[in-house]
Structure formats: structure tokens, C-alpha cells
Structure 1
Amino acid sequence: MPQNKKEISITVELDDNNVPEKIDWNATDKDGEGIANCRAMMLSMWDPKKQDTLRLDLWTKEMTMDEMKVFFHQTLITMADTLENSTKEEGMAEDMRDFTSYFAEKMEIME
């Protein structure tokens, strides 16, 4: 029986100091055709053998501080959603959402 497979590719162009200048990505089931560009990414993967999270956080030179604040805020919201969807921990997810409101206020960004 054939398995359904999806592929995600990420290409990072670096300057001479290994600072990202461009981040492109594509996925077999991405909306729209062709390669997409982004200014920042956070990739987390769980290693079951080490019981540890492997992380890759990158952002380009063009990513502004204001964009990074919004990016973090939106990432925190999606983390709360993922926690609730994966563990059914509604209370903790709501606490995280409360924190995202506090974060937005302290970072002076709009929700």
C-alpha cells in the first residue's frame, strides 16, 4: 500500500558572515504555486530518543524589529492553539492566550 508523502523545502541564502539574506520555502501542498519568500522562521522538531527539542530560528537582515514583535506574538498564539489541539489542555492554552494579550500590550503591537 503506497504511503501519502508531503515534502517541505527551505533554502537559506547567507552573506559572508553566515547571516541570512533570503529565506525561500516550498511545500507540496502549499497554497499557490511556486517558491515563497519569508523574512523569519522558527522550526522545532521533537527528538524522541533524546527527549529534546531541536530548533532552528532564522531571520533575514530585512526583518524589522516591529515585524519580529508581531511574528513572535502570532507564533505564541499558534502555540496556544497547538497545545489545546494536541493535548486538550484548554485551561493552560487559555492562560497562554492571556499572556499573548499581555505580550502585545507590553510590545505595543495591535492584536
Structure 2
Amino acid sequence: MIKSSIVIDVDLDENRVPENIEWRASESTAEAPQKAKAMMVGFWDGQEKTALRIDLWTQKMMVDEMADFYYQTFITMADTFDRATRQTELVNEMKAFANSFIDKFREIQMRDNKAS
């Protein structure tokens, strides 16, 4: 059996707010730890039938970056669900929501920028 590890290091400020996120994986070709402004990790407890999520972001994460991060996460979640279930109808709905989400975000941003 091959074992693979992912290590995530989070530097916190005095209020325990993430200042820096770095990760490295044993199977990665990258030699240095990779920096990230945000992360989402999910675990499924099959016995309890519950999800555990760890969502962190640094103060450097901009609102437009967060919207892009969520949009891309929705799309990749749909792709993963497709590979796992082949439920095309649901996958298409998830992707439609993702597209609606990013379009609505951009619309709000433009409206707020005009108001400023």
C-alpha cells in the first residue's frame, strides 16, 4: 500500500485569524510549500453520516477572489459528482447555479462600483 500525505500549515495572528496558509503534498512535484489565500477541506464521516468542513481564508483574500474561488469550487464539485454518480441532470443544475452565482456577483460588483 502506498501512503500519501498532505500537510497544511496556517499562521494565525493574535486574534487567531489566518495570516498565511501553506500546503505541501508527498505526491507533489513542487519542492517548496505552496501558498494559498484560502482553503476548503471536507471530510465525510460514513458512520455518523455527517460532513466536517474546514474553511479558512487569509485577510489578503479579496472579495472578487472569494467569488472566483467559490465559482471554481462549485464547478469542480459538479465535475466530481459527475464522475462519482453520472447524474447528468443534477450536474447540469449545479453548473447552472455556479454560472448564475458568478454572473450575479459580477452584476452586484458593477452596481456597487457605479454607486461609489
- TM category (shorter chain) comes to over 0.9
1:32 to 22, 30, 41: 30
1:86 to 84, 87, 107: 84
Amino acid in structure 2 at the alignment position of 1:36? Q
- Report the CA distance between 1:59 and its aligned residue: 0.1
Q: Secondary structure at the match of 1:30?
A: coil
Tell me the residue number matched to 1:65: 63
Q: TM-score, normalised by structure 1?
A: 0.92
Tell me the residue number matched to 1:12: 10
Amino acid in structure 1 at the alignment position of 2:83? N
Matched positions, count:
107
Q: Which runs of 5+ in 2 are unaligned?
A: 108-116
1:104 to 98, 102, 105: 102
Between stretches 24-33 and 82-91, larger displacement belongs to 24-33
CA RMSD of aligned residues (A): 1.1
Amino acid in structure 1 at the alignment position of 2:16? N
Amino acid in structure 2 at the alignment position of 1:73? Y
Q: Which runs of 5+ in 1 are unaligned?
A: none
Amino acid in structure 2 at the alignment position of 1:50? E
Aligned identity (percent) is 40
- Report the CA distance between 1:14 and its aligned residue: 0.3
Q: Secondary structure at the match of 1:108?
A: helix
Q: TM-score, normalised by structure 2?
A: 0.89
Structure ranking higher in helix proportion: 2
Q: Secondary structure at the match of 2:65?
A: helix
CA–CA separation in structure 1 for the residues paired with 2:65 and 2:29: 23
CA–CA separation in structure 2 for the residues paired with 1:39 and 1:32: 18
